[in-house]
Amino acid sequence: MFDSGLGGLSVLRAIRRDLPAARLLYVADSGHAPYGERDMPFVQERSLVIADFLRSQGARLLVVACNTATAAAVQLLRSRHPDWPIVGVEPGIKPAAALTRNGRIGVLATEGTLRSERFRMLAQAHAAHVELHLQPCPGLAAAIEAGDLDAPALLDIVRRCCEPLRVAGVDTVVLGCTHYPFIAHHIQAVLGPAVRLIDTADAVARRTADLTDGPPPLPAGSASAGREVRLWTTGDRQLLADVTRRWLDFPCRIEAWPAEHPGARADHVG
């Protein structure tokens, strides 16, 4: 699986819970994050390059753990790899439309996701009967990418992005970027406890498990933590190691990609 950076770790966490014995590979393209502020050709090119790398590592299924990359590139990836199961991530408009009580739904997402044709079609298919309040969040994914989830600058962006939705009286808010679940508690604090937050990581994990014929059994006598997850980053390897240590509860191997030099050191976390 891959994301523009750290956000897809929320999807990785859900898949790890459902498939603890699976061999999981993850690329954090933090050197080019966030995708939501890039143009579509750039995101498509990065997606193709990373997908080719993961397939070369033996991946039997690909999870595009990024809303923007799904919107921009999932169809291109499927046409390039027609024999490879590919799971995308999309904002949870459909479940939000089913759960709203007052018919007013907010969507927090990157500008790239909200302006995509794929998002427009998703909203048209599932939200024609409700009010959608679309809230782009410039700078929020990048602030989360820095790793400090309580930084004053990050909290300022959260307040600025959530306030229009609070004023609009939405009762359901879609977290339309895989980075955002890591700050769901801050979003909830601004919107209030009565507002329901929709995150699709669990649905993506279930779909992934379905396509792999369910969770494989853990080896006899093994710990429930299962095997080490292998992660690569195009950005700061130490930052990814620090973040996985704080945000995840399973062992990880962190490597630079492309490799800094032959035999480049890997960091083991957990």
DSSP tag of 64: B
Q: Is 32 annotated as a binding residue?
A: no
> How far apart, in whole angstroms, are the C-alpha atoms of residue 188 and residue 182?
12
Q: Is 26 annotated as a binding residue?
A: no
Q: Is 133 annotated as a binding residue?
A: no
Active-site residue, 137 included: no
Q: Is 179 annotated as a binding residue?
A: yes
Q: Is 67 annotated as a binding residue?
A: yes
> How far apart, in whole angstroms, are the C-alpha atoms of residue 172 and residue 194?
9
> How far apart, in whole angstroms, are the C-alpha atoms of residue 194 and residue 210?
33
Q: Is 36 annotated as a binding residue?
A: yes
68 and 36 Cβ atoms separated by less than 8 Å: yes
Q: Is 129 annotated as a binding residue?
A: no
Closest CA to 212 of 204, 222, 220: 204
Active-site residue, 66 included: yes
Geometric angle at alpha carbon 39, from 33 and 41, rounded to 5° = 105
For 16-35, b where at least 16 C-beta lie within 10 A, e where not — what string?
Answer: bebbbebebbbbbbbebbbb
* H helix or E strand, kind and range, residue 15: helix 9-18
Given the residues 66, 161, 162, 252, select the one marked as catalytic: 66
Sign of the torsion angle spanned by Cα atoms 13, 19, 21, 24: negative
Binding residues for substrate: 3-4, 35-36, 67-68, 178-179
Tell me which residues are annotated as active site. 66, 177
Binding-site residues sit at: 3-4, 35-36, 67-68, 178-179
